[in-house]
Amino acid sequence: MDISKYKIDHNSDLKLSGIKTDQTGQFDSKEDAEKKLVENVQRMTEIQSKLYAQDKYAVLIIFQAMDTAGKDGAIKHVMSGLNPQGTHVHSFKQPSVEELDHDYLWRATKNLPERGLIGIFNRSYYEDVLVVRVHDLIKNQQIPDEFITENIWKDRFRQIRDYERYLFENGIVTIKFFLHISKETQKERLLDRIDDKAKNWKFSAADLTERQYWDDYQRYYQDAINETSTKQAPWYVIPADKKWFARLMISEVIVKTMESLNLEYPTISKQQEEVLKGCKQKLMESKS
Ligand code: ATP
Ligand code: MG
């Protein structure tokens, strides 16, 4: 599968409206895609165990999307086979008083995966160039006035690029997904949440309010993705009208990225081998 089709280059002049949300690649059926997803999850499990054993790299996977795009389901399905001890999911909500008392990257840093682990951000510091921009919340962020200029978003994009580069150079590999749905699909899914009793709990009236800002969100997502997709931390725009296709592509990108790290189990030195042999000998000779 060709993941490069969904990868965005830095300053590539991406137009979100030009990316069809209902693509399914070479897959005609959900069944074929689900089979491949199972294979990918298996592969991810193998690589995860090497990641853990090697204890040098960490993988940070960021999910951003409009409401109902399927972040939660994607996280659940794609991560289903992984060792729960090796993964950590953090959801970014409206910042708390304590969080607002810090710079906007503070809460991200606090929740970064440690070496050997896979960390998942359900939303992220990208909210600070998305919802904050849509609703002009910057004045709530306690930043000194002199830094709130017309360049603030450009400045933040640079800060984010620098931050992600710093992470990369310290062994934290960042993969960023934007789950791309159409406005029509969102309408269908919201209606479904109202009509289906079992899904009522997922419906939030606030999602309807945010929906009114659809065009602003699309514009600012486009800007953020263009500005912060880099070699060290690329963005993938995943067509997500068909959830099964989105889940498969996400798993494919994660597998390919982790494979590119060429992880291997640590080997031991001759000296350590001798120590192991000695221990074995002792165990064999012991009475019980
Ligand atoms: P779901 O609705 O599926 O449970 P969700 O990610 O939408 O998942 P919510 O609790 O509904 O979770 O929403 C979290 C809200 O917090 C979002 O509307 C998001 O935009 C908002 N948010 C996140 N970070 C910030 C921020 N830095 N400033 C303001 N709002 C933020
Ligand atoms: Mg929500």
53-89 pLDDT per residue, tens: 999 999 999 999 999 999 999 999 988 889 999 999 9
For the chain, give every domain's residue range. Answer: 4-285
Q: Nearest bound ligand to CA 65?
A: 1
Gap from CA of 214 to ligand 1 centroid (Å): 15
Burial 144-153 (b: 16+ CB within 10 A, else e): eeeeeeeeeb
92, 102, 124, 178: residue to mutate for ligand 1 pocket, most atoms within 8 A of CB: 92
Q: Is the CB of residue 190 below 6 angstroms from any atom belonging to ligand 1?
A: no
* Residue 287 pLDDT: 87
Strand, coil or helix: what is 122? strand
pLDDT, tens digit, 9 for 90 and up, residues 205-254: 999 999 999 999 999 999 999 999 999 999 999 999 999 999 999 999 99
Q: Which atom of ligand 1 is nearest to the CA of 71?
A: 3
The answer on pLDDT for 127 being more than 90 is yes
Rounded to the nearest angstrom, the distance between the alpha carbon of 92 and the centre of ligand 1 is 6
Pocket test for ligand 1, best of 93, 137, 177, 202 (most atoms within 8 A of CB): 93
The Cα angle at residue 224 between residues 51 and 137, in degrees rounded to 5: 110
* Ligand 1 contact via 137 beta carbon (within 6 Å): yes
**pLDDT given for residue 22 in this prediction:** 96
In short, whether 66's Cβ falls inside 6 Å of ligand 1 is no
Share the mean pLDDT of the chain: 96
Question: pLDDT > 90: what percent of the chain?
Answer: 92
| CA 79/CA 69 separation, integer angstroms | 17
Are 105 and 147 spatial neighbours (Cβ–Cβ below 8 Å)?
no
User: How far apart, in Å, are the Cα atoms of 208 and each of 67, 68, 92, 188?
Assistant: 9, 11, 20, 12
The tens digit of pLDDT for each residue in 3-61 reads 999 999 988 899 999 999 999 998 988 999 999 999 999 999 999 999 999 999 999 99
Q: Residue 11 has what pLDDT?
A: 80
pLDDT tens digits, one per residue of 161-186: 999 999 999 999 999 999 999 999 99
Which CATH fold topology does 4-285 show? Answer: Rossmann fold (3.40.50)
pLDDT classification of 197: cutoffs 50, 70, 90:
very high
Q: What is the pLDDT of residue 288?
A: 78
Q: Residues 261-265: what's their mean pLDDT? A: 95
Which tokens sit at 79? 């991560």
